[in-house]
């Protein structure tokens, strides 16, 4: 790149950096620059006019003073004053002082203000002429004319700037409107250019909204596909065993009893799945939360006592908290959260294992942390980010031996959010898992930021 080209390139880059990023800033800068230029032009023009008029006046005074001095030098000194008086009658508002041999022989009343001055000497005669500068009145009219012209010029420039801005605004708004219409029609593939001005921020917001809608649409499609798969399995089993009973394939009492048991089991599984789906649907509508004074520790102990028979039948030790944890919350939501977490821990813990339900102060924040820790099989790390997604299970082969609908943890997260809390998990394969739920201890606390939604894994 040549030196002039490189300089021009650097100049353009500097201009781009200095140019305001917003349309309002550009319009304000353009009008301000225009006004500054107008003021500078007015001042320069006024100074030039004043200097021109003052110079012409001083030359005229010098010529007149020289003529008077010459005429006075041609008469006797005693008659010089009469020459001055005769000249004074023709000078108007000009002040004149005449000296002969350094003696003042004539002077008239002073005129103020006196801006122009000229002195002429001819022999022993010296003539001083002073008068006001008529360009002062001219300057006033010039200022009025220049200001009026400047206002007209600035208005014209502002109109041009606003016209350009409005054309760009109309073009960009039309593009954004077309983008929104495309999103409304289900087309999430387009993207608007994102600039640093107001319209760029609007385009960014539209793009973000479109991305969120695209993710929501993908999650909905995946969720419906998974729900259909989950519902199809028990329906198929029920249909198959019903056909066996109908066509006589299950002919013996034992076969008929087995078929009836399978039908009953799959119907129960189908009922649980439908109830869980209905529960999530209700929770998604943000139902009202019944906030009352509650002891989280007492609720945890009650849930441990309720599920302890199931734990004993599995050969698992279930231990509850001893401390109290006063809070203002919805106890029913807390019970459902603990029921889901403890039930999952029981399924994941082998005979002889141990599950501890704890309550403690929440991580340096005002609130409480409920935890359910087991020493079961643990969860592989690749599954941890997806555990709270709907219909997601770590058993990739959809092993039914452990039961579960894949909705329990999604319900836990949704209920925790309704209470202004959050849920997390840590796990080590072969050593166990710990699920933690932070809940505020009082009303008025802002809910924790929600975890980012992810499309359900297939």
Higher pLDDT residue, 330 or 171?
330
346 within 8 A of 434, measured Cβ to Cβ: no
CATH 3.30.565.10, the chain: domain bounds: 292-439
54 within 8 A of 133, measured Cβ to Cβ: yes
- The confidence score (pLDDT) of residue 4 equals 56
What is the full DSSP assignment across 382-427? GGGGGTTSTT--S-TT---TT---S-HHHHHHHHHHHTT-EEEEEE
- The confidence score (pLDDT) of residue 455 equals 38
Percentage, residues of the chain above pLDDT 90: 25
Rounded mean pLDDT, 139-163: 66
Gap between the Cα atoms of 283 and 410, Å rounded: 10
Rounded mean pLDDT, 408-424: 92
Tens-digit pLDDT profile for residues 38-91: 777 767 776 776 677 777 778 888 888 898 888 888 888 888 888 888 888 887
Which of the residue ranges 55-59, 225-229, 381-385 would you say has the lowest mean pLDDT?
225-229
CATH 1.10.287.130, the chain: domain bounds: 216-284
| Pairing state between β 116-122 and 103-107 | unpaired
Tens-digit pLDDT profile for residues 206-217: 777 777 777 777
- The confidence score (pLDDT) of residue 136 equals 54
Inform me whether the pLDDT recorded for 385 exceeds 50: yes
Which CATH topology does 292-439 take? Heat Shock Protein 90 (3.30.565)
**Model confidence band, residue 13 (pLDDT cutoffs 50, 70, 90):** low
Architecture of domain 216-284: Orthogonal Bundle (1.10)
Gap between the Cα atoms of 242 and 264, Å rounded: 11
Gap between the Cα atoms of 302 and 338, Å rounded: 10
- The confidence score (pLDDT) of residue 308 equals 95
Tens-digit pLDDT profile for residues 275-309: 888 888 888 888 889 999 999 999 999 999 999 99
Tens-digit pLDDT profile for residues 86-136: 888 887 778 888 998 888 888 887 665 666 788 888 888 898 888 776 655
Gap between the Cα atoms of 188 and 205, Å rounded: 14
Rounded mean pLDDT, 350-357: 95
293: nearest Cα among 338, 324, 320, 337:
324
């Amino acid at each position: 790149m040549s030196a002039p080209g490189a300089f021009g390139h650097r100049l353009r880059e500097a201009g781009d950096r200095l140019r305001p990023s917003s349309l309002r800033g550009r319009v304000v800068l353009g009008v301000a620059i225009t006004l500054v230029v107008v003021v500078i032009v007015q001042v320069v023009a006024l100074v030039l006019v004043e200097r021109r008029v003052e110079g012409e006046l001083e030359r005229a005074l010098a010529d007149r003073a020289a003529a008077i001095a010459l005429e006075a030098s041609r008469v006797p000194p005693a008659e010089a004053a009469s020459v001055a008086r005769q000249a004074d009658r023709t000078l108007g508002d000009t002040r004149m002082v005449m000296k002969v041999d350094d003696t003042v022989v004539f002077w008239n009343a002073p005129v103020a203000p006196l801006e122009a001055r000229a002195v002429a000497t001819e022999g022993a005669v010296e003539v001083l002429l002073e008068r006001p500068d008529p360009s002062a009145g001219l300057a006033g009219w010039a200022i009025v004319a220049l200001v009026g012209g400047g206002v007209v010029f600035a208005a014209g420039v502002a109109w041009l700037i606003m016209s350009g801005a409005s054309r760009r605004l109309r073009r960009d708004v039309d593009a954004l409107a077309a983008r929104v219409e495309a999103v409304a029609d289900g087309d999430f593939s387009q993207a608007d250019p994102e600039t640093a001005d107001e319209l760029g921020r609007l385009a960014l917001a539209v793009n973000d909204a479109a991305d969120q809608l695209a993710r929501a649409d993908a999650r909905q499609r995946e969720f419906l596909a998974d729900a259909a798969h989950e519902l199809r399995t028990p329906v198929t089993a029920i249909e198959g065993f019903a056909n066996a009973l109908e066509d006589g394939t299950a002919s013996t009492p034992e076969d008929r009893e087995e078929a009836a048991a399978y039908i009953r089991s799959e119907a129960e599984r189908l009922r649980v799945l439908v109830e869980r789906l209905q529960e999530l649907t209700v929770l998604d509508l943000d139902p009202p939360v019944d906030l009352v004074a509650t002891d989280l520790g007492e609720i945890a102990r009650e849930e441990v006592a309720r599920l302890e028979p199931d734990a004993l039948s599995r050969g698992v030790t279930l231990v509850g908290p001893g401390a109290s944890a006063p809070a203002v919350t919805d106890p029913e939501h807390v019970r459902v959260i603990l029921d889901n977490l403890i039930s999952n821990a029981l399924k994941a813990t082998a005979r002889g294992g141990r599950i501890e339900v704890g309550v403690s102060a929440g991580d340096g924040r005002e609130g409480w942390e409920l935890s359910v820790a087991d020493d079961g099989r643990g969860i592989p790390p690749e599954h941890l980010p997806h555990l709270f997604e709907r219909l997601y299970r770590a058993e990739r082969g959809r092993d039914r031996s452990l039961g579960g609908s894949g909705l329990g943890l999604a319900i836990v997260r949704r209920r925790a959010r309704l209470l202004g809390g959050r849920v997390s998990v840590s796990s080590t394969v072969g050593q166990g898992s710990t699920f933690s739920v932070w809940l505020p201890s009082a009303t008025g606390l802002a809910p924790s930021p929600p975890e980012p939604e992810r499309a359900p894994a297939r």
